[in-house]
Amino acid sequence: MLRSNARLLVTLLLGALVIVLLVALNSLGRSSVGLTAQAFQSPVETPTQLPYPPPGTPTPSQPGTPTAGPTPPGLRALEEDGDALLDFFEKELEFQDAFGGIYLEHAAGSEDYTAGGKLVLQLVRDHEKVNDIPAMLPSLRYPERLRIEWVDFSSERLEQQFWAISNAATQHPELQAVSINGRNNQVEVLIAPSDAWKISDGVVDKASLPDVLATLVADPSVIVREGEIEEEPVAVRGGDSWSNTSGGSNCTLGFKIEYNNTYSMLTAGHCISALGMAAGDDVYHNTTKIGTYSGVYKDGASSSSGTGIDAAILYMNDFWTAYEDVIDYSSYRDIVGSTDNYVAGYWRCRTGKSSGTDCGEIKCTSITYQSGGRWYTDMFTIDPDSVGGDSGSPVYRPETNSMASVAGVVHSRVSGATCMSGWDTSASKWHNIRDYWSLTLITGDAYLPLILK
């Protein structure tokens, strides 16, 4: 299904041209992993714009009648138009292989998109029915903000290549990272440096690779670059603090769930392994015991084909120990649901115990990388940076009326991939965590016990 798979992978904004992927973990002393590569220019030609909608005949205003300008669209309005387009391609099966991707193009000086910016729809130029699609698109609230550009590869093809390479990565020690760059309409692979590789303009000649690896990355949608791993101690950040010692403050609580018929809170799995915790160990917020460690955590995967989430479950004392809220600056937001829209340009926030609340755009919608011998798969990143102690922070979409929809749990800080913007925050997607343990999200409208006295 396009919504459940492709829409998670098709959109990454163009980031820095020099790749330096540094993965910084929490302040517990865990080292980070960095991947560096040569500078490069995009090999994708500038797409030809297709005018949409077609220009209409202007209607003159009546004499003496003031003409009111339209209300400028904000980020949420463009997101809604983007969702309408995604729904269209999900339902129109004959056009799915013509769908290249969708992303929001930011306009300088308009962080909220009210004064500029475009919703960009990518269509595969060689599809036999591509010229029929513009006239069949659904009605949009702001069609003047839509721009159509031509690309070479469908999102389905990019997704297939991404997962084929990710799943085979453990068989090829040269592979360092793989990601989808939706803006450039390509899959990017980073391999360890070697004198055997032939490099031109920063791109590795696939013919110089070992035969099996060359076959794996042979598809023209895949671009191979060279990089190396570097060690550097860095840390990350998130919401309310927790620790395994009274008075401590090590990591951040994510959001409230139900697991094994017990009300619990999510956090980062690498916090558990770094603290050396065992099932039943006490969990504290400042000097107050709030629960125990469930014994359940996952800190990445042993291979790139595994479920590489970074999450852990902390049992709470009872239902009342944790609210169904996230801290949002100096106030709170009630959690009312979740979102699986990992589209480049969409606005998300995270709140960490060290850095507080910061919001920004989704940059990378799906990226897989290795750190400390563990693989983290199908991660997403948002523009705000993180610091030590923010591991486990909730990532969420702010809604109207002081509400929020959860999107993920903070893993690390990362930098350098072309889909990123300087230092970003990397997070595990909520639905991957939920599906792995069959979790239930506890929302603000959850059933509350009736108190009779």
Residue 230 CB partners (closer than 8 Å, separation 6+): 22, 33, 34, 35, 36
Give the per-residue pLDDT at 106.
Answer: 67
Task: Dump pLDDT digits (tens) for 157-174.
Answer: 999 999 999 889 889 988
Q: Are 244 and 277 in contact (CB under 8 A)?
A: yes
Q: Which residue has the tokens 């955590």?
A: 297
**Which residues are registered as beta bridge partners of 194?**
none
pLDDT at 446 over 80: no
Q: pLDDT grade, residue 328 (50/70/90)?
A: confident
Q: pLDDT grade, residue 369 (50/70/90)?
A: confident
Q: How far apart, in whole angstroms, are the C-alpha atoms of residue 171 and residue 167?
A: 9
For the chain, the structural domain boundaries read 38-43+156-233, 49-53+75-151
pLDDT at 426 over 90: yes
DSSP 254-285: --EEEETTEEEEEE-HHHHHHHT--TT-EEEE
Q: pLDDT grade, residue 275 (50/70/90)?
A: very high
Cα 316 to chain centroid, rounded: 28
Q: pLDDT grade, residue 444 (50/70/90)?
A: low
Task: Dump pLDDT digits (tens) for 381-413.
Answer: 998 888 888 999 999 998 877 788 999 999 988
Q: Which residue has the tokens 């090999």?
A: 43
E runs forming strands in 52-195 = 99-105, 118-124, 146-151, 175-181, 186-191
Mean pLDDT of the chain: 78
Write the DSSP symbol of residue 387: -
Q: pLDDT grade, residue 112 (50/70/90)?
A: low
Q: Which pTM value belongs to this model?
A: 0.57
Q: How far apart, in whole angstroms, are the C-alpha atoms of residue 340 and residue 91?
A: 18
Task: Dump pLDDT digits (tens) for 116-145.
Answer: 778 899 999 999 988 899 999 999 988 888
- 319-338 in b/e form (b: 16+ CB < 10 A) is eebbebbbbbeeebbbbbeb
Q: Are 183 and 344 in contact (CB under 8 A)?
A: yes
**Which residues are registered as beta bridge partners of 230?**
34
CATH class of the domain at 38-43+156-233: alpha beta
Write the DSSP symbol of residue 446: S
Backbone conformation region of residue 84, classed left if phi is above 0, alpha if psi is from -120 to 50, else beta: alpha
Task: Dump pLDDT digits (tens) for 189-203.
Answer: 889 889 999 998 889
Tokens of 321: 């120990």
